[in-house]
Every structure is written in C-alpha cells, then in structure tokens.
C-alpha cells in the first residue's frame, strides 16, 4: 500500500508473506527488500532504501517512509518493492504502484482555507500543469461536499470530495460549464456527519 501522511510524506507498507514462502525451486533464503522509485512507470528506477528480511513493524507489516523533499506535493511518482535472496537474485517488478503526492485528509472538518485568495491571473498558482485558473481548498476530511455560491446566493458549483487527501481543486467553471467572472464568492462545506464551515474568496481577472 502507498499512502500520503498528514505531514506530506509518503508511506509504503507491505505484508511479510514472502518471508514464509517456500518452493522446491527456490535457490536461496530471503535476504532483503529493495524499495525503488521512478518518475515514469517504465523507469529508470532509483533505489531508495533496503530493508532486511524480518524487520517489520511488529504487526506483520514492512514500512518505509519516503521523506524526500525533492518529491513535491502535487507531483506523481511510481514505486516498486522487490525481494532479494541471499544469492542476490531478485523478484520481478510486478507490483508497480502509481502515486500522487499530497497531504492526508484531516480527521474532522475544521478550519478550511482557499488559495490563492484573492485569486488573480498573475498568481501563477497553476504551476507546471498550466492550469492558470486553479483554486485549491485546503483542510478537508476524506468525505465532504463543497458548494460555491455567488455573492447574491446563487449556487455556482458543487464539488463532491471523496478521497483521503486534504485538498481539492476547482478550475473556476460553473455547473453550466461556464467560466466565472470577477467577484466575491462564498463557499459552504458540509460532511455526512453534519459538520459545516463556510467562508469566501475573491476572483480578480
């Protein structure tokens, strides 16, 4: 499993099943696991770490934390874990996992902020994606509904957030597939459990 942590790192976990695997054709005992990362699913692959066989968390799981600051929030990488026996033979790379780095969702809806706020076309918030109209909502739980209103109270857009990350993006498009104009906008965020927060942001074009 590959998942984001609450402080923007990446946690990899896997079960210790290969430790106990036996087969008549095995030529050596399991020695270690090697964790690799790649910018693309086809490689090249960089070795991040090596974990000795048996070095689990105590619950039958291996764990590795990728805290590399070069891997930025919002970027994508690929991970693979291979097993190596005491003769240096390794398993095939059949467990490649794609991962988008983010920060894990909050446990309970609390303070939410919008960035950039105010938004203007010179903010450059879209970054490498070229999405110049991107606005981010931050501080979200795993499941919530974001409703965006005009200052006059008209519903502009509804966003269903249903993933274990603390942010979601909106690209300033209404539910009628129209681009919004400059102005003050309101948002209301609710959860299935009844929690609710609200706020406002400004668009300048």
- Please check whether residue 105 lies inside any domain of the structure: no
Does residue 107 form part of some domain? no
87 with 172, same domain? no
- Tell me the percentage of the chain whose pLDDT exceeds 90: 62
Measured distance CA(14)–CA(83) in Å, rounded: 12
Residues 7 and 86 in one domain: yes
Beta strands in 39-109 (DSSP E): 46-52, 61-66, 76-85, 97-100
Task: List, for residues 27-65, the tens digit of each pLDDT value.
Answer: 678 899 999 999 998 889 999 999 999 999 988 899 999
Residue 3: which H helix or E strand, with range?
A: strand 2-4
Residue 125 is predicted with a pLDDT of 47
What's the confidence (pLDDT) of residue 80?
A: 96
Question: Is residue 147 in a domain?
Answer: yes
- Are both 167 and 139 inside the same structural domain? yes
> The pTM is what?
0.63
Show the tokens assigned to 42. Answer: 């086809």
């Amino acid at each position: 499993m590959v998942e984001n942590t609450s402080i923007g790192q990446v946690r990899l976990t896997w079960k210790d099943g290969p430790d106990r695997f036996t087969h008549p054709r095995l030529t050596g005992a399991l020695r270690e696991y090697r964790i690799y990362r790649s910018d693309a699913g086809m490689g090249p692959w960089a070795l991040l770490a090596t974990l000795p066989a048996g070095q689990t968390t105590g619950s039958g799981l291996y764990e590795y934390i990728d805290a590399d600051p070069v891997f930025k929030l919002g970027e994508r990488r690929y991970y693979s874990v291979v097993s190596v026996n005491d003769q240096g033979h390794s398993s095939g790379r059949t467990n490649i996992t794609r991962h988008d780095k983010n920060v894990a969702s909050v446990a309970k809806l609390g303070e939410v902020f919008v960035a950039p706020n105010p938004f203007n076309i010179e903010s450059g918030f879209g970054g490498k994606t070229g999405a110049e109209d991107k606005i981010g909502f931050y501080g979200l739980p795993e499941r919530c509904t974001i409703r965006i209103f005009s200052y006059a109270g008209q519903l502009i857009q509804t966003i269903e957030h249903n993933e274990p990350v603390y942010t979601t993006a909106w690209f300033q498009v209404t539910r009628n597939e129209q681009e919004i104009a400059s102005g003050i906008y309101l948002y209301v965020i609710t959860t299935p459990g009844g929690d609710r927060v609200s706020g406002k942001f400004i668009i300048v074009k």
